[in-house]
Structure 1
Amino acid sequence: MTHDAKMTYRIGLLPGDGIGKDVITEARKVVETAASSFGFSVEWREFPYGAEHYLNTGEILPDEALEEMQQCCALLQGAIGDPRVPPGVLERGILLKTRFYFDQYVNLRPALTYPNVPTPLKRGEGIDIVVVRENTEDLYVGLGFLSNEEIEATVDMKRPSYTLKGALSLKVDPSMKFAAQLALATEMGVRRITRYACNLARRRKASEIVLATKSNAVKELYGLWEEIAKEETSKEGISLKLVNVDALCYQLARDPSGYGVILCPNLFGDIVSDLLAGLTGGLGLSPSANIGDGLSMFEPVHGSAPDIAGTGRANPLAAILSASLMLEHLTQVEASEAVKNAVLEYLRAFPRQRHPMELGGEATTSEVGDSVASIIQRM
Structure 2
Amino acid sequence: MNTHVITVLAGDGIGLEVMPVAMEVLEAAIEGHDVRLEWREQPWGSDYYRQHGRMMPTDAITTMTATDAIFLGAVGHPDVSDVETLWGMLIPIRREFDQYVNLRPVRSFSGVRSSLAGDPEIDVVIVRENVEGEYSAVGGRSYQGTPFEAAHQQSIFTRHGIERITRFAVEVAQGRSGRLVSATKSNGIIHTMPFWDEVVAEVVAQSDGVQLESVLIDALAARAVRSPQSIDVIVASNLFGDILSDLVAGAVGSIGIAPSANLNPEREHPSMFEPVHGSAPDIAGRGIANPIGQIWAGAMMLRHLGHDDIATGLEEAFTAVLERGEVTPDLGGSLSTVEVGAAVIAELRRRRA
Tell me if both proteins adopt one fold, taking TM over 0.5 as the criterion: yes
Describe the superposition over 1:168-214 as per-residue Cα deviations: whole angstroms up to 9, x where unpaired. Answer: xxxxxx9611111000100000000000001111122x222100001
Corresponding residue for residue 158 of structure 2: 186
Residue by residue, what CA displacement relative to the aligned partner does 1:286-339 show, whole Å, maximum 9, x if unpaired?
111100132100001111112322221111111001111111111110111111
1:289 matched to 2:264? The reply is no
Q: Counterpart of 1:59 in 2: which secondary structure?
A: coil
Give the stretch that moved more between structures: 112-121 or 339-348: 112-121
Letter in 2 for 1:211: S
Amino acid paired to 2:87 = R
Q: Does 1:308 align with 2:283?
A: yes
Describe how 1:113-152 pairs up with structure 2 within 5 A. Answer: 113-123=108-118, 125-148=120-143
2:10 corresponds to: 15
Unaligned runs of 5+ in 1: 1-5, 151-173
Within 5 A, what are the aligned runs for 1:313-332?
A: 313-332=288-307
Aligned residues of 2:113 and 2:119 also touching (Cα < 8 A): no
* TM-score, normalisation: structure 2: 0.95
Q: TM-score, normalised by structure 1?
A: 0.89
Compute the displacement of 1:65 (Å). Answer: 1.3
1:275 aligns with 2:208: no
Match of 1:372 among 320, 344, 353: 344
Structure 2 residue aligned with 1:31? 26
Q: What code does the residue aligned with 1:378 have?
A: R
8 Å contact 1:19–1:309 — kept in the other structure? yes
Match of 2:203 among 220, 224, 232: 232
Q: Which residue is equivalent to 1:262? A: 234
1:49-198 alignment, distance < 5 Å? 49-123=44-118, 125-148=120-143, 176-198=148-170
Alignment partners' CA distance in 2, 1:347 and 1:149? 52
Aligned-partner Cα distance in 2 for 1:219–1:240: 21
Q: CA deviation at 1:54?
A: 0.7
- Counterpart CA distance in 1 for 2:261 and 2:105 is 9
C-alpha contact (below 8 Å) 1:316/1:368 kept by paired residues: yes
The one-letter code of the counterpart of 2:283 is I
Moved more, 138-147 or 284-293: 138-147
Count of aligned positions:
347
Q: 8 Å contact 1:37–1:377 — kept in the other structure?
A: no
Over 3 Å counting, the alpha-carbon distance change for 1:149 and 1:80 in structure 2 is closer
1:357 aligns with 2:332: no
Q: CA offsets, 1:350-378, max 9 Å, x none?
A: xx4x4212111111111111111111112
Letter of the 2:309 partner, please give it. Answer: E
SS at match of 1:276: helix
Distance change in 2, residues 1:175/1:18 (3 Å) = closer
Aligned equivalents of 2:230 and 2:73: distance in 1? Answer: 32
Equivalents in 1 of 2:227, 2:204: separation in Å?
25
RMSD of equivalent CA atoms: 1.5
Counterpart of 1:36 in 2: which secondary structure? coil
User: 1:132 corresponds to which letter in structure 2?
Assistant: V
Contact map agreement 2:157 2:192 (CA 8 A) in 1: yes
**How far 1:124 moved relative to its partner?**
5.6
1:93 deviation in Å? 0.7
Distance 1:372 1:227, change over 3 A: same
Query: Amino acid of the residue matched to residue 279 of structure 1?
Result: A
Q: Distance in 2 between matches of 1:142 and 1:24?
A: 30
Checking the alignment, whether the CA contact within 8 Å between 1:74 and 1:295 is kept in structure 2 is yes
SS in 1 for 2:82: coil
Query: Cα deviations across residues 234-263 of structure 1 (Å, max 9, x unaligned)?
Result: 112222110000010111111111110000
Task: Note the alpha carbon deviations across 1:204-239, whole angstroms, 9 max, x for none.
Answer: 2x2221000011111210111111111111112222
Cα deviation for residue 122 of structure 1 reads 3.9
Superposition misfits of 4+ residues, deviation over 6 angstroms: none
Q: Secondary structure at the match of 1:211?
A: strand
After TM superposition, give the deviation of residue 109 of structure 1 in Å: 0.9
When residues 359 and 234 of structure 1 are mapped into structure 2, their CA distance, relative to the original with a 3 A threshold, is same
- The residue number in structure 2 matching 1:3 is none
Larger gyration radius, structure 1 or structure 2? 1
Contact 1:11–1:43 (CA under 8 A) maintained in structure 2:
yes
Matches of 1:246 and 1:84, distance apart in 2: 33
Which has the larger displacement, 337-346 or 58-67?
A: 58-67
Instruction: Specify the code of the residue in structure 2 equivalent to 1:118.
Output: R
